[in-house]
Structure 1
Amino acid sequence: MKPELKLAMFRAAGLLSLFVVISVALLIAINAFTQPKIEQAEQASLIQLLNQVMPASRYDNNLLEDTKTVTEPDYLGSTEPMTIYRARLNGEPAGLVVETVAPNGYNGNIRLIVGVFADGRVAGVRVVSHRETPGLGDKIELRKDDWILSFNGKELTEDNVNRWAVKRDRGEFDQFTGATITPRAVVGAVKLTLDYVNRHQEELYD
C-alpha cells in the first residue's frame, strides 16, 4: 500500500474517532443539562395529579418526600410495590394518597390513585391509566365524565359496606349504559383501598 494511501486512511480514521468522541461528549452534556429539567417536569406533573385527590390546602409537607411503599395484592390489586403519599398539616396526619389497581377491568388493569382524609372520607379518586373501551368504559376519566367525582366525601363503614357497589349489584354507584364491568371494577378497587386504609391507617403514617 502506498504511503500516501496509508496516511489518508489514518487521517480518515482519526477524524472518525474524533467525531465519535465529540458526539458522545455532546450527548453527555445535553443529557446532564436536560435531565434535571425532565425530572422537575415529571415531579410537577405528579404533584398536580396528587393535588387532584388531596387538596394542597390540606397539607404543608412535601408529598414526594413523605412516602411509604407497600405490597398488598389482596387490597391494592397488584403484586407490585405500591406507593402511599402521606399528607400532614402542622405535623399531624391529614390524609393519604394510595396507588391501587382494579385488576378486573373490561380490558385489564385500571390504575388509580385514591386520596383518603385522616377521618376516612374519600378526598378524591383519579384514573392514572386504563385500556377500557372508548365511548363506554373510558367514562371513568374525568375529562370524559364526572362519574369519578361520585366517590368524593364517601367513607367505608360497617353500616354501609353493602352499598359500595354499582346499582345493578344493589349498591349506590351508577353504572354506564352498556358498560357495567368497568365501573364495577373501579368501585371494588376503591372499596378495598378504603378497607386497607381503615385497617392500617395508624401504621401507614409511621
Structure 2
Amino acid sequence: MREIIKLGLILLLITSVAASILGLSNGLTEGKIEEVEAKASEEARKEVLPGTDSFKSIDDNKFKAIKDENDKILEVYKGMSDGSLAGYAIKTVTSGYGGDVEVITGISIEGKITGIKVVKHLETPGLGANATSADFQDQYKGISTDKEVVRVKTNPSKDNEIQALTGATITSDTVTDCVNMARELFNDRLNK
C-alpha cells in the first residue's frame, strides 16, 4: 500500500512539473504564435485578392451584426488598391470530414471570385488535404457571385461548377460551402 502511495506522489510531482513547464512555454510563445498566424493570414489575403496593397477590417459594428447573423464568418477585410476599394477577403469556417475547415475567399468589387485559400484543416492526408492544392483552389477563380457555386463529380459543364476531389466529396462540399457563404455575404451585405 505504501508503495502505491509513493508511486502516486512521484507521478503527481512529475505531471505537476511537466504542466508548469508547458504552461510557461505556452505563455512565452503565445505572442509569437499570434504574430506568425496574423502574417500568414495577411499573405493568404494577398493571394486570394491579387493587386491589393493593403487590407482594412470592416467597421466593428458592421462585423458584429454580420457575426450575430452567421457565426461561421470569422473575418471580413476590405482589400485596398491605391486608396480605392478593390474587393473583400472573407474568412469562413465549416465542419469537414476531419474537423473544421477555414477558407479565405477573395471577391472583387465586380462580383468575381478572385481566389480561395484553405488556411486551416484537419482533413485526411492524400484525400481531403488535397483541398489545399492549387489545381483544386484555382477552379473557383473567375466564378461570378451571381450564382451559387456547385460541386460536381464529373468535368464541370457550367461556369459556376467545380469538380470535386476524388475520394473527398465531403471536403469538396465543405470548401464550396465556405465559398458560398462568402459569396452570399458579399451579395447581401457588402455589395450594397
Could you say whether these structures have the same fold, taking a TM-score greater than 0.5 normalized by the shorter chain as the test? yes
5+ residue gaps, structure 2: 1-27
Equivalent position of 2:190 in the other structure: 201
TM-score by length of 1: 0.64
Q: How far apart, CA to CA, are the structure 2 residues paired with 1:182 and 1:35?
A: 30
Q: What amino acid maps onto 2:81 in structure 1?
A: L
Aligned residue among 152, 171, 191 for 1:182: 171
Secondary structure at 2:161 match in 1: coil
Measured against aligned partners, the alpha-carbon deviations of 1:142-168 in whole angstroms (never above 9, x if no partner) come to 2xx5111100111121xx43xx22114
5+ residue gaps, structure 1: 1-30
Aligned residues: 158
Aligned residue among 128, 131, 150 for 1:165: 150
What's the C-alpha RMSD, in Å, of the aligned pairs?
A: 3.1
- Quote the sequence identity (%): 27
Q: Structure 1: which 4+ aligned runs deviate by more than 3 Å?
A: 34-46, 71-77, 168-171
Does 2:51 correspond to 1:51?
A: no
Aligned residue among 97, 106, 130 for 2:97: 106
Task: Check the 8 A contact 1:76/1:192 in 2, yes or no.
Answer: no
Per-residue deviation at 1:93?
1.3
Q: How far apart, CA to CA, are the structure 2 residues paired with 1:149 and 1:166?
A: 14
Per-residue deviation at 1:135?
1.1
- Which entry has the higher C-alpha Rg, 1 or 2? 1
Task: Check the 8 A contact 1:76/1:101 in 2, yes or no.
Answer: no
Q: What amino acid maps onto 2:79 in structure 1?
A: A
TM-score by length of 2: 0.68
Q: What amino acid maps onto 1:67 in structure 2?
A: S
Aligned residue among 57, 81, 88 for 1:67: 57
Per-residue deviation at 1:40?
6.2
Q: How far apart, CA to CA, are the structure 2 residues paired with 1:176 and 1:150?
A: 11
